[in-house]
């Protein structure tokens, strides 16, 4: 007996929709693969965006609601208007944003994803056709935590919100976590009337929002890249939960890709900092920490003319970029310095610490914007063995990632964190505006090293002046 799709209650449109989701998933995988290398990352973004566009268009044209009608017939105009509005707003924000504010933008966009997933779960929990109560509640909690946590991260990165380092915070968070688990169990285990279910769902939303706030508030600046990565992972997981609610394969796969990639990145970054994820979450790392009192030593400055001579007659130079480079928008001037030194036969490379800046890959993105060749960006573990034979290491706006306290001061909050061993170089030039502490809030004894010379001033102005001095030699 031959059985048609129509006999099984499956339309040609449903088949096309599922095939489009499969194609979108393939495009996601290709895009993710291409994004694993800087040279192909831009192309990877287009492949992944194409997959998302395909999933959105086919869902709009072919997806049917619970009553069997096409979604485009019921809510098509509202959806199209929302897509157009969001696309225009996103384009404007992306074009106007400065590279120094990129971490804040990532946190803000991540918050919108968490909010969307939480709202989907909140709306669908009371839907009688929803058979995924556990998934819905988990999506509500995870999405809400991702939203409020990301918004707090945005505020902290933008300097609008401070830190809370009180010891009671971690115990408060543990109590909220227990309450959340107990409330989910109660909502699933007992047959509650609709009004009670609705009230408890809103209570769960409020508790999750509070937890997201209090979870991020104690996190110091040195751990912020790890937290952003973790929150990104949570948003992906929440999106996958929303996909399970709607039985939408594209949402499920997209969420899984984001969640798993964010989780792997978080694990790699905590490993690079020699810290456990639990330690990051409850450890209140950074901000206000202090190393043990010891004699600082003397600060030695260097003039532009002396620095230009030292660099011009060196064989190897390593540049360690940090957030200060982004603040000064000095990446273009830095690339000019590199080209000038290479014309003189100097071998120049950049040493990239995994958590330099305020988000994963911040320095890579910043230098790529200035067309610095990717081959010149060397990871910490690869560059460190060559630093003892490096003639000059230039530290531009970096602080905690080159702080020797991580290696030799057990009292320091960053003790045990792998750093770029700039102190092992033959000569060290540190470019800073002043003697302020880094984002972790502790003293950097690299500045008092006998081999270190300080070049004070705005990084962009200092590098441009240095370029002019070298040209005149």
227 found inside a domain: yes
d(CA 452, CA 304): 15
Q: How many structural domains is the chain composed of? A: 2
Residue 196 or residue 291, greater confidence: 196
Same domain, 315 and 461: yes
Does residue 48 belong to any structural domain of this protein? no
Do residues 44 and 33 lie in contact, with contact meaning Cβ atoms separated by under 8 Å? yes
Decide if 21 is inside a domain: no
Q: Which of 319-323, 425-429, 435-439 has the lowest mean pLDDT?
A: 435-439
**Mean pLDDT, rounded, for 78-86:** 87
Instruction: Kindly state whether residues 467 and 401 are assigned to the same domain.
Output: yes
Looking at the structure, do residues 331 and 450 belong to the same domain, yes or no?
Answer: yes
> Within a domain: residue 35?
no
What integer pLDDT is reported at residue 224 of this predicted model?
77
Domain co-membership, 341 together with 266: no
**Residue 396 included in any domain:** yes
How many Å apart are CA 237 and CA 261, to the nearest integer?
11
User: How far is C-alpha 308 from the chain's CA centre?
Assistant: 36
Residues 120 and 229 reside in one and the same domain: yes
**Same domain assignment for residues 269 and 312:** no
For residues 250 and 311, state if they share a domain: no
- Its domain, for residue 251, covers 105-285
- Per-residue DSSP letter, 70: B
Question: Could you tell me what percent of the chain has a pLDDT over 70?
Answer: 88
Confidence (pLDDT) at 434 = 66
Q: Residue 46 CB: number of other CB atoms within 10 A? A: 12
Residue 352 shares a structural domain with residue 457:
yes
pTM of the prediction?
0.81
pLDDT, mean over the chain? 85
Rounded to an integer, the average pLDDT of 239-248 is: 89
Bridge partners of 392?
317, 427
Which CATH number do you get for residue 318?
3.40.50.1220
Instruction: Examine the residue annotation and report whether 193 is marked as an active-site residue of this protein.
Output: no
Instruction: Give the CA angle between residues 88, 89, 90 to the nearest 5°.
Output: 90
State pLDDT tens for residues 189-216. 988 888 999 999 999 999 999 999 988 8
Among 67, 191, 223, 400, the one annotated catalytic:
400
Query: Which of the listed residues 285, 318, 350 is the one where a domain comes to its end?
Result: 285
The burial class, CB within 10 Å (0-12 / 13-18 / 19+), for 20 is buried
Residues 181 and 317 in one domain: no
Tell whether 281 and 309 lie within a shared domain.
no
For the beta sheet containing 347-352, the strands, ordered from the edge strand earlier in sequence to the opposite edge, are 377-379, 347-352, 316-321, 392-396, 427-432, 452-456
Residue 235 lies in a domain: yes
Q: Is residue 44 part of a domain?
A: no
Tell me: do 276 and 370 sit in the same domain: no
State pLDDT tens for residues 325-379. Answer: 888 888 999 999 999 999 999 999 999 998 887 777 888 888 888 888 888 999 9
Q: Does a structural domain hold residue 41? A: no
Q: Are residues 339 and 194 in the same domain?
A: no
Torsion-angle region of residue 9: left (phi > 0), alpha (psi -120 to 50) or beta? left
Percent of the chain whose predicted confidence (pLDDT) is above 90: 40
Tens digit of each residue's pLDDT (9 = 90 or more) over 249-270 = 888 988 998 999 888 888 887 8
CA 238/CA 245 separation, integer angstroms: 11
pLDDT at position 291, please? 43
Last residue of a domain, one of 227, 252, 285: 285
Distance of CA 273 to the CA centre of its chain: 15
- Report the pLDDT value the prediction gives residue 335, as an integer from 0 to 100: 93
More confident: 199 or 414:
199
């Amino acid at each position: 007996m031959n059985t048609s799709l129509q006999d099984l209650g499956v339309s040609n449109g449903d088949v096309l929709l599922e095939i489009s989701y499969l194609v979108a998933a393939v495009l996601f995988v290709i895009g993710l693969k291409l994004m694993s290398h800087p040279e192909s990352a831009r192309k990877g973004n287009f492949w992944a965006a194409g997959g998302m566009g395909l999933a959105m268009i086919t869902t709009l044209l072919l997806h049917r609601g619970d009553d069997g009608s096409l979604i485009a017939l019921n809510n098509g105009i509202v959806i199209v208007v929302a897509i157009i509005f969001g696309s225009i707003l996103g384009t404007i924000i992306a074009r106007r944003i400065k590279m120094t504010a990129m971490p804040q933008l990532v946190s803000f966009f991540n918050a919108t994803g968490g909010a969307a997933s939480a709202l989907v779960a909140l709306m669908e929990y009371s839907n009688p056709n929803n058979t995924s109560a556990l998934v819905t509640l988990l999506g509500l909690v995870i999405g809400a935590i991702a939203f409020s946590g990301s918004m707090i991260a945005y505020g902290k990165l933008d300097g609008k919100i401070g830190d809370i380092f009180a010891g009671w915070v971690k115990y408060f968070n543990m109590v909220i976590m227990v309450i959340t688990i107990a409330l989910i169990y109660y909502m699933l285990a007992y047959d509650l009337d609709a009004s009670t279910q609705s009230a408890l769902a809103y209570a769960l939303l409020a508790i999750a929002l509070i937890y997201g706030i209090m979870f991020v508030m104690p996190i110091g600046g040195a751990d912020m890249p790890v937290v952003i990565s973790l929150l990104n992972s949570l948003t992906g997981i929440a999106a996958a939960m929303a996909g399970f609610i709607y039985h939408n394969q594209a949402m499920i796969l997209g969420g899984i890709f984001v969640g798993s990639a964010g989780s792997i990145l978080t694990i790699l970054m905590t490993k690079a900092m020699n810290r456990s994820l639990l330690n990051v979450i409850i450890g209140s790392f950074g901000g206000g920490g202090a190393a043990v009192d010891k004699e600082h030593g003397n600060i030695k400055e260097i003039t532009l003319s002396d620095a230009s001579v030292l660099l011009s007659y060196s064989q190897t130079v390593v540049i360690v970029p940090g957030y200060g480079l982004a603040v000064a928008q000095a990446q273009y001037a830095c690339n000019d310095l590199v080209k000038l030194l290479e014309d003189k036969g100097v071998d120049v490379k950049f040493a990239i610490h995994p958590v330099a800046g305020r988000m994963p890959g911040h320095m890579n993105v910043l230098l790529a914007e200035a067309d610095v060749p990717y081959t010149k960006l060397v990871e910490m573990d690869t560059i460190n063995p060559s630093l003892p034979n490096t003639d000059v290491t230039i530290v531009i706006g970096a602080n905690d990632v080159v702080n020797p306290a991580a290696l030799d001061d057990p009292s320091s909050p960053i003790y045990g964190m792998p750093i770029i061993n700039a102190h092992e170089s033959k000569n060290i030039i540190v470019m800073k505006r002043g003697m302020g502490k880094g984002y972790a809030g502790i003293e950097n004894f690299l500045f008092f090293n006998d081999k270190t010379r300080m070049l004070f001033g705005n990084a962009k102005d200092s590098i441009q002046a240095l370029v002019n001095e070298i040209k005149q030699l």
